[in-house]
Structure 1
Amino acid sequence: MIDRRSLLRTSGVAATGALAAAALSPSAHAAEAADLTRVPRQVGSDPTEGVTRTLLQEHPSPAKGWEAVQTLVEIPRHRESGRHSHPGVEVGYIIRGEVLMKFDDRPALRLCTGDPFFIPSGAIHNAVNVGKVTTMMLSTYVVDETKPLVTMY
């Protein structure tokens, strides 16, 4: 398990500026469509290298023992989040880019700029950047406050 504080790193970029700058026009969205079945990697390289999770906000939930956490996740081209799960639900939105969201227990989802997504509590998943730009995802979690935000597999 990974400690929540060590996993979430601040990037020094204002969150509102990063979100505003990330919007893509429909023509840019079409231009970034690519072969979603092939993700080249360098032999021996860490597929999660360069992935960042920036903590935007964290608040107690109205339900005792739970908290709401919001992050900005950035996944560089040809990289992935790594197989992981959360101790609660994840509600997300693709700000920019394309990912293939792979699951251990269900079919994968192709998600593009503007797509929302929902990850059930405990579902093991891996977001693979299959586009031509660094993917930016806004993820909001409602999680058990006594457990790490992310458990890697």
Structure 2
Amino acid sequence: MSHRSLHAVRLLVSAAVLATNLLTLPAAAQPAGVTRTDLQRHDLSAPGREAVQVRVDLAPGVAFGRHTHPGEEIIYVLAGAIAYDVDGKPPVTLKAGDVLFIPAGTVHAAKNVGQDTASELATYIVEKNRPLLTPVK
């Protein structure tokens, strides 16, 4: 198989995995007032791992319930004020320019506590072929 053909196959497989993750995301995992925009997804040099970047916008007062990810989440707050509740740590409210690291599998939740839409850039370093998000009751 040529390099160009292999690259095309990889792109198609990545698109299929992304579509599957988006279509299998439970409805409860993305409540009204939450907009997730997938920005990029790339394989990493570590076998079975990938990096995923997503912009998450939360309308005023909207909460994103307790959930986990199959890898680390690195957050950069782009706008607004977001309160994060991360198991094992005291709650924290972050504003534009602040960052947060959430270890793999750690239960956490977020809520826009400001008057305007709040936005974060979420970068995930996760296991491939697993749902990006798993709700926790």
Q: Note closer, same or farther for the CA distance 1:60–1:68 as it changes in structure 2 (3 Å cut).
A: same
What TM-score, normalized by structure 2, do the two folds share?
0.77
Residue in 2 that maps onto 1:97:
80
Q: Note closer, same or farther for the CA distance 1:115–1:7 as it changes in structure 2 (3 Å cut).
A: farther
CA contact (8 A) 1:7 1:53 kept: no
Q: CA deviation at 1:82?
A: 1.2
Q: CA deviation at 1:146?
A: 2.6
Q: Distance in 2 between matches of 1:87 and 1:145?
A: 9
Q: CA deviation at 1:7?
A: 6.7
Q: Distance in 1 between matches of 2:24 and 2:114?
A: 24
* Residue 141 (structure 1) aligned to one of 120, 124, 127: 124
Q: Distance in 1 between matches of 2:36 and 2:86?
A: 20
Q: CA deviation at 1:4?
A: 2.1
* Residue 34 (structure 2) aligned to one of 32, 51, 60: 51
Q: Note closer, same or farther for the CA distance 1:71–1:7 as it changes in structure 2 (3 Å cut).
A: farther
Amino acid at match of 2:96: T
Give matches, 1:69-148, under 5 Å. 69-148=52-131
CA contact (8 A) 1:100 1:110 kept: yes
User: Cα deviation per residue 1:94-133 (whole Å; 9 max; x = unaligned)?
Assistant: 0000011012322111101110111110111111110111
Matched residue of 2:82: which SS?
Answer: strand
Q: CA deviation at 1:145?
A: 0.4
What TM-score, normalized by structure 1, do the two folds share?
0.69
Amino acid at match of 1:117: L
For structure 2, list consecutive stretches of 5 or more residues without a partner in the other structure.
1-19
> Is the radius of gyration larger for structure 1 or structure 2?
2
* Residue 51 (structure 2) aligned to one of 60, 68, 75: 68
User: Cα deviation per residue 1:74-100 (whole Å; 9 max; x = unaligned)?
Assistant: 010010111111010011100000011
Amino acid at match of 1:95: L
List 4+ stretches of structure 1 deviating above 3 A: none
Q: Distance in 2 between matches of 1:108 and 1:61?
A: 31
The count of aligned residue pairs is 113
Matched residue of 1:70: which SS?
Answer: strand
Q: Distance in 1 between matches of 2:32 and 2:111?
A: 12
Q: Which has the higher strand share?
A: 2
User: Cα deviation per residue 1:40-92 (whole Å; 9 max; x = unaligned)?
Assistant: xxxxxxx9312011100000011000000000000100101111110100111
For the aligned residues, what is the CA RMSD?
Answer: 1.7
